[in-house]
Structure 1
């Protein structure tokens, strides 16, 4: 029997997200409706959905239109375009990650995982029987990765290196030069690199003209690179449950397709159609511009809160994505982040995520809280106002220190 750890962050969200007033634990850019999506399009005569199309299983691996849009996105600034056949559509990035690890990893294999990160990326390979080494990014280094440390973690049986770029929960990035170093390390032993790029391309605090701007891993010319992503985070469409796996190595895609046949035969035609509309040239630019502007505006609000409460909290300002990892402390000692998050929800109606419970192992990240700041601006403003009142009235007396 496969033994898998409880998924801490998903259980936390399931417990609290429908029972709170101001949800700033959510990691998606503020969600939009079908009507919103159509209004963002420059082609007002085109509809996201057809009311006359018969609802069959549809295209098993994804519609030609949707695969074409993804192929175009992954072919920008690369010498060779990515064939549509090298992309597999899934039910969200969470299924993409699961299928990929299920297909590639087995008992006796070794996996190196960029950390902190979404728990799925290390718990799934462990459940399959692989040994996992956590490649730890550290706050004192601004959450940057150390490729020398990566080299020290590589073993003869290392099968997979797992990256999260941009990173959840810190909002840090792995810059271009570091990505190239990782590829060079992996190439020596033909190790597969998996990059969960679900927060790409929401790079709100680094310019595409910057020489260290991180490209997709698929852009670096390494055959054994594979990426996963979805329509949920940067594209505001979590409700359609659409993700994908893409690689220049067709064998990786075919191995994932075998496992997919045993899970979801196909993605809903309706979901595929909405995703296709969102990624079409007439919509994608306006959609991403909306979300980048929202991220920048809201990040500025959060930064002002942090700066005015340095006596109780600190952070490394996020560079990309939708999440910030904020450390709360009293007199230089971390607070009990689980107690803090429960008190915030119970007394202020503000939902955030405790870092030690949902992202930490072996006592890591005590005092840290993940905040999702790309909600509707009004929600964030009201949540921060409640948080200010809490910090003034209850933080010192009611929140215990971490043990």
Structure 2
């Protein structure tokens, strides 16, 4: 097998549904159809003919998506089965064997594995924990070469919750232009900002930009498996060609529900609900961590659905996660999945009572094993 196991996704798939408390959910507590749709919309949904629909995404849905970006229309959009398919298609559209990919780390590591499978050469430039997760752009500048085909970003970042400043964005674009590289940005957490202000997309800032988005994270609708790519028309046309060889199309019911979710008033309702949860839960989780003094260290996220935490215990992060799972039926994501031992990730987009009940079990476990 030429493609490496995607450890982060595999670990989550194995364990997130086998525990009493999954504390590493990376999005928000999902909506039900009754919460999301009105009676007329549900009636229409239940009478929908279950055909294929338009394979690159229904025109109404692509219009809703494009309206969230600068100087874009439906021809700039490809609808995919989640943002994971979007990442796969984008890489196979924009990269060729032998290309270099310089990738922000830590990150959702899917693109790293895809690049390796394609015979590309991934390199890492780092967000610096000792500088509140700000990117080391001098490192980025030193890594790009004439062979660099893509600079891969995640903004807002998974797992740190860092959001790039305007100056950092402009410098990244300048670096990309200097070697004629693509900027590919995972923007799936755009809309989950704690201050309530949606960050600006990279779209429109440079002619070689492509981004992804989706309804799984900031919109609390992961079961729809609805994502998208947006970029230059001619390259989006190329992505559609790859999409024909992968999943062909997202489900017609997801097209219908997704278009409703992205209507202006409904979209604002969803984002407000989720940002409120995020802020309330962050306060509660920080209070829980702070009771332990310097045992835990963290930088508050600016966006996203999680808190990335460093711990000061003499135990490997995978061992810690496995122990909590087997002894207390609590699942946390080990920092090893990001190549960062002595860290773990906690999701803060779930119901607050659920999170605190899970943390109570962690508290019991820490007292039993480490006497803290």
Task: Tell me whether the two structures share a fold, i.e. TM-score over 0.5.
Answer: yes
Q: 1:219 to 1:303 in 2, by over 3 A?
A: farther
The aligned counterpart of 2:53 is 58
> For this pair of structures, how many residues does the alignment match?
372
The aligned counterpart of 1:32 is 31
Q: Identify the match of residue 159 of structure 1 among 143, 149, 156.
A: 149
| 1:223-302 superposed matches below 5 A | 223-247=207-231, 249-302=232-285
Does the 8 A contact of 2:155 with 2:186 survive in 1? yes
Query: Which moved further from structure 2: 2-11 or 222-231?
Result: 2-11
| 1:88-127 superposed matches below 5 A | 88-127=78-117
Where has structure 1 moved over 6 Å in runs of 4 or more?
none
**1:336 is aligned to 2:319:** no
- Cα distance between partner residues in 2 of 1:383 and 1:172: 25
Does the 8 A contact of 1:325 with 1:368 survive in 2? yes
- Cα distance between partner residues in 2 of 1:319 and 1:390: 30
Instruction: Give, in angstroms, the shift of residue 70 of structure 1.
Output: 0.7
- Cα distance between partner residues in 2 of 1:82 and 1:386: 48
| 1:4-403 superposed matches below 5 A | 4-38=3-37, 45-47=40-42, 49-75=44-70, 81-204=71-194, 206=195, 208=197, 214-220=199-205, 222-247=206-231, 249-330=232-313, 335-356=315-336, 358-360=337-339, 365-396=340-371
TM norm structure 1: 0.89
- Cα distance between partner residues in 2 of 1:375 and 1:207: 18
Does the 8 A contact of 1:163 with 1:193 survive in 2? yes
Unaligned runs of 5+ in 2: none
Residue by residue over 1:93-129, the C-alpha shift from the partner in whole angstroms, topping out at 9 and shown as x without a partner, is 0000000001111111111000011110211011100
Query: Which moved further from structure 2: 235-244 or 255-264?
Result: 255-264
- Cα distance between partner residues in 2 of 1:286 and 1:47: 18
Instruction: Give, in angstroms, the shift of residue 396 of structure 1.
Output: 4.7
Unaligned runs of 5+ in 1: 76-80, 398-403
- Cα distance between partner residues in 2 of 1:283 and 1:47: 15
- Cα distance between partner residues in 2 of 1:219 and 1:156: 24
Does the 8 A contact of 2:128 with 2:136 survive in 1? no
TM norm structure 2: 0.96
- Cα distance between partner residues in 2 of 1:83 and 1:46: 25
- Cα distance between partner residues in 1 of 2:267 and 2:196: 18
